[in-house]
Structure 1
Amino acid sequence: MASTDNNDENDDQHFILRCFQFISYPFVVVINRLVSDIHFMEQFYIKLYNIYAFVSQMFFFLSCTLAFNEYNASKKEEEFILTGLKTLLFYSVFTYFASKTRDILSPTHPSLFHNWNLTEGLCRIVIEWAKAIIVVICLREQGIYFKPSVPYAIFTFSYYLCTEKIFTEICLKLCQYLDFDIFDDLEHLYVPLVLNMYTMALSLIINLYLLIIAEFMTFTFVSCYFTIYIRLKDSYYNYWTVVKLARKTFENFRTASQKELEEFDDVCAVCLNKMSKAKITPCNHFFHPNCLKECLKSSLLCPICKVSF
C-alpha cells in the first residue's frame, strides 16, 4: 500500500514538472533569443570603436567629475556635464596634435621619408605643438577654462590614453618593438587586454565610490554598464578567448628535430629564410615559430595548403 502511495506521489511530481516545463518553454525561448540579440548588438557596438571609446570616455569623465567634486555645487546638473565635455575637448586637442606629430615621424610618407632632414622634422613638430598651445589659449579667451585637480587629471588622462585609438596603437607598436617574452608574440591580443583591465579597474574604483556615497545611483549603474560590463565582454570575447585559442593551436604544433630539419632542407615559406628551428603543422609543413605566429594572427589556416588548424 505504501509503495502504491509513493508511486502516485512520484507520478504527481513528474506531471507537475512536465507542466512547468511546458508552460515555461516559450518564456525560455524568448529570453534566450533576447539575450542573443543583445549580445549581438553589444558586439556590433564594440566594433564601432570610435563611438565605443567616446561613450566610455564620456561616462568615465562624468563619473570622475562627480567623484572628485569637479563642478559648481549650485549648478550641479549642468556643471558636471560641462566639465566632462571640457575634459574631452582639451584631450582631443592633445590627440589631434599628437597624431600630426606621429605622421611627421612616420616613414610611411615617402615624400617626407626620402627628404628627411632632422632640422625640418623638429621644426614641423614644434610648429604643430605651437598650434596646440594657440588653440588652448583661444579656448581660454572664449571662457572655456580647464583647471582640474591632480587626482582628476591623473585618472581621466590615464583612462583617455588607454582608450584612445592612436595611443593604444602606439603602445602596441612599442611593446612589439621591445619584444617582451611574456607576450609570446601575441602583443596584438595581450596589449588591448591589459589596457582594458586597467581601464576597468579605474572605472570600478570610481563607481564603487559613487555607490558608497549613494547619491547618483541611476547614473552610476548606467556608467558601470558602459565602462565595466561592456569592456569586460570586449576583453573576454574579443581578446581572452582568442588568446586561449591561439596558444592552444600553437602548442599543438610539434617542434621539428634537428634530423627533420636536415632532411627537409628548405626555407620557411613565409620569410624565405633557412630554418635552424621550426614548427611542424598537422599538414606536415615547416615554418619558423615566429612566422607561424604572425600567420595565426590573421587566420587559423595553413599559409601553404589552407587546411584549417
Structure 2
Amino acid sequence: MGMISRVRGRIRSDSFSKIHIKSEDKIANIVWLISLVLLLPYWAPRGLLVALGGAWLMAAYTCLVLPVLISANYKYPARWYPAVANIARKVATRLQSPVLRVWSVVKVAYSPIDRAERLFLQLNNLSTMISQLLIFAACDRLFVSRGRLTCLYSLMFYNVITYSVNYIREICTKEDWSPYVNVTRHSRVKHLAMSATKIVLEWTKAVTFVVTMTFILLTLGLEQGLDHYKPNFLYTIITATYYLLTEKTFLELWPLALAALKLERLEGMEALYSGVWARGVTTAIAVPLVPALAWHERYRLAFLLAYICVYVHGRHRLGEALVKYNEACDSLARFRRATPEELSTLEDVCAVCLGTMKSARVTPCAHFFHADCLRRCLATTDRCPICVRPYVFC
C-alpha cells in the first residue's frame, strides 16, 4: 500500500500536473478536424458529384465553405501550423539556388520556342485567324449539337461583315472622290493607266459590296445553302464577342467608340484602355473553355486552345498591353489631376493638341496638359513643353 501511494503521488506531482490544455488549443484542434470533414466532398468520385448536382453544386459549395474554413483556421491556428510554415520556409530557402539554376537552364532551352512564338504573333492575320478558329471549334464542340461545319460558316459570315464595315468606313472617310489620278501632285494632267486602274478597283469594290450584302440577306432571310449551320444563342454571343475583340478592323474602332463616350476618367488614353480590355476579355473567354473541353475528353483541342489562345496570346499580347498601360500610369503618377475649380477658371486649351481641357494634369511649373499629350511629351523629353524647364518634384 505504501508503494502504491508513493507512485500515485509521484504521478500526480510530476506528469499530469504539468499538462495544461488551453481552450484555444481545443478550439484549434476542433476547427482542424471539422475542416478535414468538410473537405471530404472534394475527394468524392466524379459520378457522385454529377448525381448530386455537378459542377454548379461544387462551385456553390466552394464559395460558401472554403472562405469559412480559411478564416476559421486563420483565427484559431493549430500548434503545428507555425512549425510546418517554418519547415516549408527553410526548405524553400535551401532549394532557392538549385531552382534558380534549373530555371536559367529552362529559359535557355525555351528561348527558341519563345522566338517562334514571337514570330508567329508577328504574322498578325495568321495568328488571329488561328486563334479565332480554335475558339470557334471549341464552341462548336461544346454548344452546338451535330454542327460539324458551324465554326467555318461562322468565321466566313463574320469576315463578310468585316469586309462590309471596312467598305463603309472607307466611304465615310474618303476625301478624294475624283475617278482620275494626276501625273504629279500639283499637275492637272491625267495619268491614263492609273486612272483606269482606279476606276476598275472602285467598281470592283462596289460590286463586291453589293454581292456581299446580297449574300447576307439570303443567309439571314432565306436560309439557303447552310444545312449544318445551327448555332444557338450562347455560341453566337461567345464567338461574336471574341471576333469583335480580336479582328484588326474592330480593334481600330473601339478607341473611337470609347472616345465618343467622352469619359473623363480615361483622360484621352482610350487606345491603351481598349487594348487592355480587349486582350483581357479574349483571354478570359478562352480560359474556361479549356477545362470544359478536357471534361468532354477533347484533349488535343484543349491543349491547343490553352497554349495558343491562353498562354501565347495572354503572355505576349495581353502582357504587352499591360506593360504599355503600366508605363503610362507610372509616368503620369507624379503629376496631379487638375480640380474642376482650376479647369473652370482656366479657360485655356492644351498647348500640345490645342483642344479644350475637361480633364488635365498639372506640372510642377503650374502648366496644364491633357494626360495623353503629357505622356507623349514625356516619351521624348523630361522638360515642360511650354517653359522648357525640367520637372522638379518636391
Determine if the TM-score, normalized by the shorter chain, exceeds 0.5: yes
Q: Distance in 1 between matches of 2:361 and 2:332?
A: 12
Structure 2 vs 1, CA of residues 306 and 193 (structure 1 numbering), >3 Å: closer, same or farther?
farther
SS of 1:52's partner is helix
Q: Distance in 2 between matches of 1:143 and 1:28?
A: 55
Structure 2 vs 1, CA of residues 59 and 278 (structure 1 numbering), >3 Å: closer, same or farther?
closer
Counterpart for residue 53 of structure 1: 128
Which one has more relative contact order, counting CA pairs under 8 Å at least 6 apart? 1
Counterpart for residue 93 of structure 1: 160
Report if the CA contact (8 A) 2:150-2:230 is conserved: no
Q: Distance in 2 between matches of 1:67 and 1:199?
A: 18
Cα shift readout 1:87-129 (whole Å, capped 9, x = no counterpart): 21121111111111111222x43438xxxxxxxxxxxx99876
Q: Which moved more, 1:233-242 or 1:170-179?
A: 233-242
Counterpart for residue 66 of structure 1: 141
Report if the CA contact (8 A) 1:87-1:146 is conserved: no
Report if the CA contact (8 A) 2:144-2:230 is conserved: no
TM-score (norm 2): 0.53
Name the amino acid aligned to 2:373: E
Name the amino acid aligned to 2:242: Y
Q: Distance in 1 between matches of 2:172 and 2:357?
A: 35
Structure 2 residue ranges without an equivalent (≥5): 1-93, 179-204, 340-347
SS of 1:94's partner is helix
Counterpart for residue 197 of structure 1: 280
Shift of residue 148, structure 1, vs aligned partner: 2.7
Report if the CA contact (8 A) 1:71-1:83 is conserved: no
Q: Is 1:83 equivalent to 2:83 in the alignment? A: no
Match of 1:133 among 207, 213, 216: 213
Q: Is 1:239 equivalent to 2:321 in the alignment? A: yes
Name the amino acid aligned to 1:34: A
Q: Distance in 2 between matches of 1:88 and 1:196?
A: 19
Match of 2:259 among 176, 183, 189: 176
After the TM superposition, which residues 1-309 of structure 1 pair with which residues of structure 2 at under 5 Å, given as runs? 28-71=103-146, 80=148, 82-106=149-173, 108-111=174-177, 130-136=210-216, 137=218, 143=225, 145=227, 147-150=229-232, 151-213=234-296, 215-253=297-335, 269-271=351-353, 279-280=362-363, 286-288=367-369, 290=370, 292-294=371-373, 296-297=375-376, 300-302=379-381, 304=385
Cα shift readout 1:175-224 (whole Å, capped 9, x = no counterpart): 012122332322111112112222222222332321222x2112211111
Shift of residue 64, structure 1, vs aligned partner: 0.9
Q: Distance in 2 between matches of 1:300 and 1:48?
A: 28
Structure 2 vs 1, CA of residues 194 and 267 (structure 1 numbering), >3 Å: closer, same or farther?
closer
Cα shift readout 1:141-183 (whole Å, capped 9, x = no counterpart): 9955562322222221221111111112212211012122332
Report if the CA contact (8 A) 1:268-1:286 is conserved: no
TM-score (norm 1): 0.66
Q: Distance in 2 between matches of 1:256 and 1:156?
A: 42
Shift of residue 33, structure 1, vs aligned partner: 2.0
Greater gyration radius = 2
Q: Distance in 1 between matches of 2:271 and 2:237?
A: 26
Shift of residue 268, structure 1, vs aligned partner: 5.3
Structure 2 vs 1, CA of residues 102 and 306 (structure 1 numbering), >3 Å: closer, same or farther?
farther
Q: Distance in 1 between matches of 2:124 and 2:280?
A: 17
Name the amino acid aligned to 1:67: L
Report if the CA contact (8 A) 1:204-1:228 is conserved: yes
Report if the CA contact (8 A) 1:46-1:52 is conserved: yes
SS of 1:111's partner is coil
Q: Distance in 2 between matches of 1:94 and 1:274?
A: 36
| Amino-acid identity (%) | 24
Structure 2 vs 1, CA of residues 111 and 83 (structure 1 numbering), >3 Å: closer, same or farther?
same
Report if the CA contact (8 A) 2:267-2:372 is conserved: no
Counterpart for residue 76 of structure 1: none
Q: Distance in 2 between matches of 1:170 and 1:43?
A: 25
Q: Distance in 1 between matches of 2:150 and 2:252?
A: 28
Structure 2 vs 1, CA of residues 88 and 273 (structure 1 numbering), >3 Å: closer, same or farther?
closer
Name the amino acid aligned to 2:325: V
Report if the CA contact (8 A) 2:349-2:357 is conserved: yes
Shift of residue 46, structure 1, vs aligned partner: 3.0
CA RMSD of aligned residues (A): 4.2
Q: Distance in 1 between matches of 2:286 and 2:357?
A: 47
Structure 1 residue ranges without an equivalent (≥5): 1-16, 73-79, 113-124, 258-265
Structure 2 vs 1, CA of residues 274 and 243 (structure 1 numbering), >3 Å: closer, same or farther?
closer
